[in-house]
């Protein structure tokens, strides 16, 4: 399986000097996962021999979302907490998955909406 990004692209091009969210040891896993999600949205229409930069950037951002979701303290289901008189509100796992899915969709559309890669119909002759 072709993965749309490598660690060098992530650190040099996408981050451009910013601190990495995904550690090097975990990068391959999240890059592969992000690639598969993008393939689903684009119906595997990305030319893997010449991957556009917008697809690579999108893949980096989706990989970061996935990494953050797996490694956040929000994974414990707490959506808000009050210290005085101790009040804790919980968010369901289903709600957390829906929020992640919505965020991923938003990222994919922001990077790829005007590329034609998300088009489901038949091209005109």
Could you tell me the pLDDT band of residue 37, with boundaries at 50, 70 and 90? very high
Q: Residue 81 pairs with which residues in a beta bridge?
A: 88
Residue-level pLDDT at 106: 98
Please count the residues of the chain. Answer: 125
Is 101's pLDDT higher than 70?
yes
Mean pLDDT of 43-48: 94
Could you tell me the pLDDT band of residue 4, with boundaries at 50, 70 and 90? very high
Buried b (16+ CB within 10 A) or exposed e, 30-63: bbbbbbebbbebbeeebeeeebeeebbbbbbbbb
Residue-level pLDDT at 86: 78
Could you tell me the pLDDT band of residue 84, with boundaries at 50, 70 and 90? confident
Residue-level pLDDT at 92: 75
Residue-level pLDDT at 123: 60
Average pLDDT, the chain: 89
Over residues 85-96, the pLDDT tens digits come to: 777 777 777 888
Q: Are 9 and 56 in contact (CB under 8 A)?
A: yes
Which residues 6+ apart lie within 8 Å of 109 measured at CB? Answer: 118
Over residues 52-76, the pLDDT tens digits come to: 999 999 999 999 999 999 987 544 6
DSSP string for 53-77? HHHHHHHHHHHHHHHHHHHSGGGG-
């Amino acid at each position: 399986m072709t993965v749309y990004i490598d660690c060098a692209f992530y650190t040099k091009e996408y981050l451009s000097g910013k601190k990495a969210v995904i550690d090097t040891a975990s990068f391959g896993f999240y890059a592969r996962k992000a690639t598969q999600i993008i393939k689903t949205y684009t119906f595997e229409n990305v030319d893997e021999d010449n991957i556009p930069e917008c697809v690579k950037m999108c893949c980096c951002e989706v990989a970061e979302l996935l990494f953050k979701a797996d490694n956040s303290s929000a994974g414990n289901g707490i959506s808000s907490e009050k210290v005085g008189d101790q009040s804790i509100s919980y968010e369901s796992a289903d709600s957390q998955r829906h929020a992640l899915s919505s965020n991923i969709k938003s990222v994919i559309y922001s990077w790829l909406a005007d590329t034609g890669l998300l088009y489901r119909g038949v091209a005109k002759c």
